Structure 1
């Protein structure tokens, strides 16, 4: 719950700072995969904390928490490999938010998924359905980009790299995420083999 509040405070600080600077555009702000994933992470940690405190277990909750773990792992992976060399003011409005949203929250959510003792492993076929969200995000970004004149990430901007390069980047990321989804899904089984996995 503490980390849920930390993530929430980072998101609120971003919004408040952008509003104060006259730069807050809601549609653009919530078009960042980092923002969307961190919102899901905050909700996941809050719900997971309540479930842990009450002893509640749910197959759907396990599947949802696993999906969020994948998305937050994607956040840190993409940031480290494709965005970490960008100027800090291009990434977040406040420097400490960058650390919270791109590093601390992904590590916490993944650790919560693997080590909390509350999640069952998810079947591989079911885990691959998690990729629907990144796929929908990529399509949304490429369709909205030319209409709004805004791309949240440079590597997805055809004006900078051309459509062939952007599509190839998305394809490579898709393959990487498919492998990562399988690894994340099986993680609880490897770390805590006593609890059976969820079919799929």
Structure 2
């Protein structure tokens, strides 16, 4: 079942990312090269690719991603991508047709699938709070990338980090809030995982 789900989730992820790439190229307002760079400038896209890669590796060579905490980190990343979209970005546009389907896959379906897989298969008792500082490297590196590139391209993928419109101070404040939320969500995943893992062990021992 684990391998079957990995295959299914990997295919879902690659389809969503590929379809979004095709849609972005088709509806581009910038040259192809710039559009491609912009495509890979979205946290949602990069994280969905990360999820697809994780499930692909879990299908063909699970030892690479077997270390406790790897699945938790990937799940938190995609959870954050989905949550930020649902809370902040969903109301900013109204996709239709294939774009609507792809949008829901990237921001709703795939995050839910990742959480389900995490809940069932992560070795939660081996995941620790000390791993969180390592997990935050990816979103911080992403933030540095979009701010540096935006400084000379004037393209910022999200309104809450758009220095041109809200200024650097507000951008850094928004980023700090998101990093804080990331730490809180990460801690909740670790603590909740340990709680249910312990509860499951107790139920198994008493049965």
**TM-score, length-normalised on structure 2?**
0.81
Structure with the higher fraction of residues in helix conformation:
2
**Aligned residue in 2 for 1:98:** 103
**Aligned residue in 1 for 2:53:** 43
Separation in 2 of the partners of 1:18 and 1:93?
A: 12
**1:125-140 alignment to 2 at 5 Å?**
125-140=130-145
The structure that has the greater radius of gyration is 2
Gap regions ≥5 residues in structure 2? 1-6, 202-207
Separation in 2 of the partners of 1:47 and 1:119?
A: 20
Gap regions ≥5 residues in structure 1? 196-200
Contact 1:121 1:187 in 2 (8 A): no
**1:19 CA drift (Å):** 2.7
User: CA-to-partner distance for each residue in 1:66-93, whole Å, 9 max, x for gaps?
Assistant: 111110111111112211111135xx98
Residue correspondences, number: 190
**1:117-196 alignment to 2 at 5 Å?**
120-193=125-198
Contact 2:57 2:64 in 1 (8 A): no
1:78 pairs with 84, 98, 101, which one?
Answer: 84
Greater mean deviation of Cα atoms: 95-104 or 75-84? 75-84
Higher-RCO chain (CA-CA 8 Å, sequence separation at least 6)? 1
**1:59 CA drift (Å):** 7.7
**1:169 CA drift (Å):** 0.7
**Aligned residue in 2 for 1:66:** 72
**TM-score, length-normalised on structure 1?**
0.84
1:31 pairs with 12, 28, 41, which one?
Answer: 41
**Aligned residue in 2 for 1:4:** 10
Secondary structure at the aligned position of 1:72 is classed as helix
Contact 1:34 1:101 in 2 (8 A): yes
Contact 1:32 1:152 in 2 (8 A): yes
**Aligned residue in 1 for 2:205:** none
Separation in 2 of the partners of 1:22 and 1:168?
A: 31
C-alpha RMSD of the superposition: 2.5
User: CA-to-partner distance for each residue in 1:122-159, whole Å, 9 max, x for gaps?
Assistant: 11111221011111111111111121221110110022
